[in-house]
Structure 1
Amino acid sequence: MRYMATYDLMETIRNTNQWLGATARTMASYPALAAIPNPALTWMAAWGEVTERTFERMVVKPDWDIHAVTCEDGKDHLVEIKTVVEKPFGNLIHFDVTGRKEQARKILLVAPMSGHYATLLRSTVKSLIVNCEVYVTDWHNARDIPVSAGKFDVEDYTLYLMDFMRFMGPETNVVAVCQPAPLTLAATAYLAELDPDAQPRTLTLIGGPIDPDATPTDVTDFGNRVTMGQLEETMVQRVGFKYKGVGRLVYPGLLQLSSFMSMNADRHGKAFRDQIGRVARGEASDYDAHNRFYDEYLAVMDMPAEFYLSTVERIFKNCEIAKNEFVVAGHKVDIGKITRVAVKTVEGANDDISAPGQCVAALDLCTGLPPEKKAAHLEPGAGHYGIFAGKSWRNNIRPLVLDFIDANAAKPKPVAANVA
């Protein structure tokens, strides 16, 4: 119960701050006070507006905000987001562009389950949807999943990806961004062994910790500095009574957000102080740079505790993927079984989360893959976010990924089944 009490305490603090912001904004806007202009009231209203929005966004799932797209035919087409596979912990969604013939490039974009919603890849989707059929893994907030749905750990995540790949078929081109890269590699290898006709055409891994020890960073080395007991004691809580997942053990999004914010407290503090000033001067808007960034950054989701803990233990501490020792449902996955799926890795030279060397390690694990089916790209000057959503992605990496997909678009020759 104490873990549930802690969860509800965090939610109470968040709710109280949202209420304080709304109260300050409303009181400062009281009509009778407008008779005597007072700069203090202007600043009070600005503080209230920024505070209310800040704490309100923490429990709201952002909208994809992709309603129409201008395609290569020069026309605007409406976009309908359809759920094509529905599962308890995550759905597969398709960005269906109406009035356009089906595109040859079919892309499965694997979004991270790392505390933020899949909408973090909004700009990535927008850049691909112009001339690709885009599907995205839309993971659910664990606080909204009843305990009766069971557990969800790294093995379940891998099996989900395999089901999504099976559904989409062998013409699929998988693009995994950051955290899911190791598990996507494992899912592809397991599918290559278990159901080779369902494996994708290509696999692109972007900034993922395939081998966290290759080039340690503060983020990837975190698992080596704490014990699993410490993590379970300090990071895991039970969902409170307010949500459908009451009683479920989770790594709370609010707890993770507080950790993120504390790492760059001065920078975030300045950003919010500057925004209050802009609101007070009438220079802010709903879609200015500050709100666009923080509306997404502050929108956090709870992770299933077993997924969080198994990720730290098996991917970062034990390096099971890097050592090719990963086991799913009692079966040891052999990454060397990938023999015809073209694999490309993308890294950012200035990535301080998954540093160069961590992702490209995937190519050495693909021992059964011919050299012509392997490719690697290191983007100069790019940080972690830039390699999948920033200028580096739009101008350099995206064209390279699409060229890689096109170069391997031909149906591969069938491989003779291994006889035990």
Structure 2
Amino acid sequence: MRYMATYDMMETLRNANQWLGATALSFASYPIFSMTPNPAFQWLAAWGEVTERTFDRMVTKPDWGIRTFTCEDGKDHLVSIDTVVEKPFGNLLHFAVPGRRKMKRKILLVAPMSGHYATLLRSTVKSLLVDCEVYVTDWHNARDIPVSEGKFDVEDYTLYLAEFMREMGPDTHVVAVCQPVPLALAATAYLAEAEPEAQPRSLILIGGPVDPDAAPTEVTDFGRRVTMGQLEQTMLQRVGFKYPGVGRMVYPGLLQLASFISMNGETHAKAFSEQIARVARGEDSDHDRHNRFYDEYLAVMDMPAEFYLSTVERIFKNREIATNSFTIEGRAVDLGKINRVAVMTVEGGKDDISAPGQCIAALDLLTGLPDAKKNSHLEPDAGHYGIFAGSSWRKNIRPLVLKFIDASDGKAVKIAAKNQAA
């Protein structure tokens, strides 16, 4: 019960701050205060507006915001977001463009389950939608999943990916971003042995911790320093009475957000103080750069406790993927069984979450895959976000990924990265 009380306390603090912001905005906006040209009221109203929006976004799932698409015929077509597979912990979505000719490239974009919603990949989806049929894994907020639905750990995550790949068929190209990279690799190996005909055509792994020890970062150091017992005691809480998942053990999104912000506290503090000043001067807009970024960044979701713990223990501490010792329901998943899926890795030279070396380690594990089907790319000046959603992705990485996808359709792929990654 004490964990449930702690969860409710965090929600109470968030709700109280949202209320304080709304109250300040309402109070300072009374017309009578306009009779006195006192900038304090403008500042108070601005502080209230920014504060209310900030704390409200923490419990609001962002919208995809992808409604129309201009096709080659010059016409705007509506984008329909259809649910292809519906499951308790996550759905498979298809961004369909009715009236457009069917694209030859079919991509499964595997979104992370690491505290943010799949909408974090909105710009990635938009960029791929131009030339591809795009499918996305849309993971659900654990606080909204009843306890009766059972557990969800890294093995369940991997089986979900295998089911999604099976549903989409063997002409699929899988693009995994960040956290799911090692599990997408495991899901492909699982299918390679259990259902070889269901394997995807290619697998593109972007900035993920296949071997966390290959290049230590603050994230991997944390996983080493803290024991599993400490994590259970300090990071997990029970969902409170306000949500359908009442009683479920989770790693709260608000706690994860606090960790994110603490890593760059001064930068965030400066961003919010500058936004308050802009609002006070009337220079803001609902979709300005600050709001676009923080509306997504602040929107966090709870992770199932068993998924969080098993990720830390099995992927980071025990390095089960890196040592090719991962199992599902006691059955070994041998990465060496992957022998016909073209695999490409992408890393950012300035990635401080999954540093260069962690992702490319996947290629050495694929002992059954010919070198002609392996490729990798290092983007020297890109950080973690830039390799899948920033300018580096748009200008350099996306064209390489599409070229690799086209080459994997029955053609040999030359290794271009061994010299780039050096």
TM tier, smaller = over 0.9
Kept in 2, the 8 Å contact 1:72–1:130? The answer is: no
Code of the residue aligned with 2:341 in structure 1: it is V
Tell me which residue corresponds to 1:132: 132
Residues in 1 aligned to 2:278 and 2:144: alpha-carbon distance in whole angstroms: 36
Residues in 2 aligned to 1:158 and 1:36: alpha-carbon distance in whole angstroms: 62
Say yes or no: does 1:183 pair with 2:188: no
Code of the residue aligned with 1:231 in structure 2: it is L
Tell me which residue corresponds to 2:238: 238
Residues in 2 aligned to 1:321 and 1:340: alpha-carbon distance in whole angstroms: 19
Residues in 1 aligned to 2:143 and 2:314: alpha-carbon distance in whole angstroms: 24
Residues in 1 aligned to 2:351 and 2:73: alpha-carbon distance in whole angstroms: 36
Residues in 2 aligned to 1:362 and 1:71: alpha-carbon distance in whole angstroms: 37
Residues in 1 aligned to 2:227 and 2:122: alpha-carbon distance in whole angstroms: 35
Say yes or no: does 1:277 pair with 2:277: yes
Give CA deviations for 1:220-259 in whole Å, capped at 9, x if unaligned: 2211101000000000000000000000000000001011
Code of the residue aligned with 2:64 in structure 1: it is W
Q: CA deviation at 1:35?
A: 2.6
Tell me which residue corresponds to 2:303: 303
Tell me which residue corresponds to 1:332: 332
Tell me which residue corresponds to 1:370: 370
Residues in 1 aligned to 2:174 and 2:264: alpha-carbon distance in whole angstroms: 33
SS in structure 2 at match of 1:100: coil
Code of the residue aligned with 2:43 in structure 1: it is W
Q: CA deviation at 1:341?
A: 0.3
Kept in 2, the 8 Å contact 1:117–1:138? The answer is: yes
Tell me which residue corresponds to 2:40: 40
Residues in 2 aligned to 1:323 and 1:276: alpha-carbon distance in whole angstroms: 49
SS in structure 2 at match of 1:109: strand
Tell me which residue corresponds to 1:350: 350
Alignment of structure 1 residues 180-259 onto 2, 5 Å = 180-259=180-259
Residues in 2 aligned to 1:136 and 1:20: alpha-carbon distance in whole angstroms: 37
Say yes or no: does 1:109 pair with 2:109: yes
**TM-score normalised by length of structure 1:** 0.97
Say yes or no: does 1:71 pair with 2:74: no
Residues in 2 aligned to 1:327 and 1:318: alpha-carbon distance in whole angstroms: 12
Residues in 2 aligned to 1:172 and 1:151: alpha-carbon distance in whole angstroms: 28
Structure 1: runs of 5 or more not aligned:
413-420
SS in structure 2 at match of 1:94: strand
SS in structure 2 at match of 1:175: strand
Code of the residue aligned with 2:286 in structure 1: it is D
Residues in 1 aligned to 2:195 and 2:383: alpha-carbon distance in whole angstroms: 36
Code of the residue aligned with 1:393 in structure 2: it is W
Q: CA deviation at 1:70?
A: 2.1
Q: CA deviation at 1:33?
A: 2.2
Kept in 2, the 8 Å contact 1:110–1:137? The answer is: yes
Residues in 2 aligned to 1:303 and 1:324: alpha-carbon distance in whole angstroms: 25
Q: CA deviation at 1:411?
A: 9.3
Code of the residue aligned with 2:184 in structure 1: it is T
Between stretches 308-317 and 262-271, larger displacement belongs to 262-271
Tell me which residue corresponds to 1:29: 29
Q: CA deviation at 1:74?
A: 3.3
SS in structure 2 at match of 1:59: coil
Tell me which residue corresponds to 1:141: 141
Between stretches 183-192 and 76-85, larger displacement belongs to 76-85
Tell me which residue corresponds to 2:318: 318
SS in structure 1 at match of 2:58: helix
Between stretches 308-317 and 68-77, larger displacement belongs to 68-77
Kept in 2, the 8 Å contact 1:72–1:131? The answer is: no
Code of the residue aligned with 2:371 in structure 1: it is P
Code of the residue aligned with 2:365 in structure 1: it is L
SS in structure 2 at match of 1:378: strand
Code of the residue aligned with 1:406 in structure 2: it is D
Tell me which residue corresponds to 1:416: none
Tell me which residue corresponds to 2:84: 84
Residues in 2 aligned to 1:410 and 1:135: alpha-carbon distance in whole angstroms: 22
Residues in 2 aligned to 1:173 and 1:155: alpha-carbon distance in whole angstroms: 22
Between stretches 23-32 and 294-303, larger displacement belongs to 23-32
Give CA deviations for 1:303-351 in whole Å, capped at 9, x if unaligned: 0000000000000000000000000121100000000000000000111
Q: CA deviation at 1:405?
A: 0.3
Tell me which residue corresponds to 1:417: none
Q: CA deviation at 1:83?
A: 0.6
Q: CA deviation at 1:188?
A: 0.2
Residues in 2 aligned to 1:379 and 1:231: alpha-carbon distance in whole angstroms: 34
SS in structure 2 at match of 1:125: helix
Tell me which residue corresponds to 1:287: 287
Kept in 2, the 8 Å contact 1:42–1:280? The answer is: yes
Tell me which residue corresponds to 1:263: 263
Tell me which residue corresponds to 2:397: 397
Kept in 2, the 8 Å contact 1:387–1:393? The answer is: yes
Residues in 2 aligned to 1:368 and 1:73: alpha-carbon distance in whole angstroms: 44
Tell me which residue corresponds to 1:386: 386
**TM-score normalised by length of structure 2:** 0.96
Code of the residue aligned with 2:167 in structure 1: it is F
Q: CA deviation at 1:102?
A: 1.0
Q: CA deviation at 1:260?
A: 1.1
Kept in 2, the 8 Å contact 1:212–1:221? The answer is: no
SS in structure 2 at match of 1:219: helix
Residues in 1 aligned to 2:103 and 2:270: alpha-carbon distance in whole angstroms: 45
Residues in 2 aligned to 1:198 and 1:74: alpha-carbon distance in whole angstroms: 36
Residues in 2 aligned to 1:326 and 1:73: alpha-carbon distance in whole angstroms: 48
SS in structure 2 at match of 1:53: helix
Between stretches 94-103 and 34-43, larger displacement belongs to 34-43
SS in structure 1 at match of 2:213: coil
Residues in 2 aligned to 1:411 and 1:302: alpha-carbon distance in whole angstroms: 42
Aligned-pair identity in percent equals 78
Code of the residue aligned with 2:66 in structure 1: it is I
SS in structure 2 at match of 1:173: strand
Residues in 1 aligned to 2:221 and 2:171: alpha-carbon distance in whole angstroms: 37
Residues in 1 aligned to 2:372 and 2:379: alpha-carbon distance in whole angstroms: 21
